[in-house]
Structure 1
Amino acid sequence: MSAQVIDGRACARALKESLEVDVARLRHEGLGIGLATVVIGDEYSSGAYERRLRRLADELGVTYSPQTLPGDTDQEALLTRIGELNADPAVSGILVLRPLPSHIDEAAVFRAIDPMKDIEAVHPENAGLLALGVPRFVPSTAASCFHLLDTWLDSVGEDRADFYHRANIVVVGRSNNVGKPAISLGYERQATVQSVDEWADRTTGIGRYTRWADVLIVAAGKAGLIRAEHVGENAVVIDVGINAATGPDGRVHMVGDVDHDAVAPRVRALTPVPGGVGPVTDVWLLRNTVTAARLLAGRPIDLARPSLPTPARVLLEAS
């Protein structure tokens, strides 16, 4: 068996095409849309992440305002800047990039964000709504995992409701931005959901849990954590990991939390790294920003259902 590779870039293009229609309509109606990112230090400011967001925002017609603060910025100054963004009518969505320096109280920062502009659902109000199954915003990476899975199910002719009702979803990793929201989204789809920490690999053995997964979502931040012996046949694997690795040629490249070459012959489908979850996450972040703009303007949330790529574009048969 050769696994189907779920093409995140194709999914992202289709999602972006739908979003372009929504943004154009809102701009025609005179509604501006703005995204502000806040980072302390220069880890992101000159990197690929900011360039990707800027390019995507420009292509969609969304104003992008990166806020880069010095590494020694104190708590009060950071909260003041967030307060200014909360009050700025040109800003629809606010994203505070992590990790934050150790001298910053992360929870206090998240509580300071206006819940209506909190596009990654880090404010306790939004996190609670997500846990209750009535989310205002869904964190973009977790949302992207299930968008990829839903798109794949449609492309292979599987009924979503029937699949999820029968599915055992295992989530490896318990982060607030991926693992925990993914668990909530799995419950929302009435699947059986199990959460596993990466430390299980050192105690009972992570395969004890992951081998039974129909859907395996891996967001542990550990390169090559999931190997062939950790997956069952016919599983669908969503690899969220982004890790820098040095190849035999001495060049640094990006790899996921899943050993792709070892796992591919055993599973039904999987997402690659790069080109899987990442491209969809970027677009979904902008989609959340559009949702925030609508909420702030008192508009109904009627974003167009994302158009789906054709199966040939979504599924690339692994060689």
Structure 2
Amino acid sequence: MTTTSVSLRPRYEGSNICTWIGFKHVNYMVEEAVLDHLRQSGFPAGQLYERFGLCTDIVDLDTKILTAFHIDDLAQATVSRVRPESATQDGGPLKLLVELTVERDDKTVKAVKSKVSVSFRLDPHGFDAEPVPAALAPHVVERIAAPAKTTGATAPIPVGDADPLDLLTAGRNAFAWAWRIPYFYCHFTERVQMSGYLRQMEEILDLFVEDRGASIKTLLDEQNWIPVVPHSRITFTEEANMEETLYTVFTVEEVFKKFTFTARMDCYVLRDGELVQTATGKITHGWAVIENRKDWSLVNFDDRLIGAITGKAGSLSGRGVS
């Protein structure tokens, strides 16, 4: 099946400020649409694992949010397969395009457009399994590892006697966080899943602005401002495993006319004395003022927020530990 559709609602957990849904839970809706597409195509994730030993992994997620979701919205999701440019490019991850629409003032409005890549990772635990379905065979991998030339992944970084957090932030407008990977950020018994990295991307921004003296609650209390995200992307470059320490780096890249800024998120684990990159991503942030319980509008950054983003105000410790 090349195209499927399904109706979805955002989860209540994602309604953190008034009734608006944050970018993480918008991406969760995209993930649900992908899983439903596989289900309608005859490849439900549970069956793929239990019968064939295939772990369904979203390995690249590139999402643009065009219209804000509210908690009671009913979205219509359409998922279509992206055809390879040539027959020789049939391998690699399964490429999907996901679009979410929502009703606004009796009109259907496009709310989300997302490009998704899915790999089917062979389960490493050695239980008996049936042969891999032929239709999925081109997308099956023994390990998740993206080539650096396609993802911009960095080579392993020797650590020596240095503190990894200092090594990852030295000379940069960046903040880094060391964090032990718990089982509930993982799936298929061992590995961090895409939703785990989305939670990292959400939390590292929260820690970054707090470190710079412009915490989410401070701007809410004093100016009624909230952060908004029109674009996010996360790409797997390697695997990160349960109970490893994940080093997440948030690096500001560009401020656009005091209206939005883009930042890069890079995640590493320490193995054999080297920092190995496991994921990389980008996020675009703006801030909006709450006008009432239903509406908000984007604002220009003030001097305090510009100072925090550019590293010219607040704490510049560049590091955190959890």
TM-score tier after normalising by the smaller chain length: under 0.3
TM-score with structure 2 length normalisation? 0.24
Q: Larger Rg: 1 or 2?
A: 2
Higher RCO (CA 8 Å, separation ≥ 6 residues): 1
**Which of the two has greater strand per residue?**
2
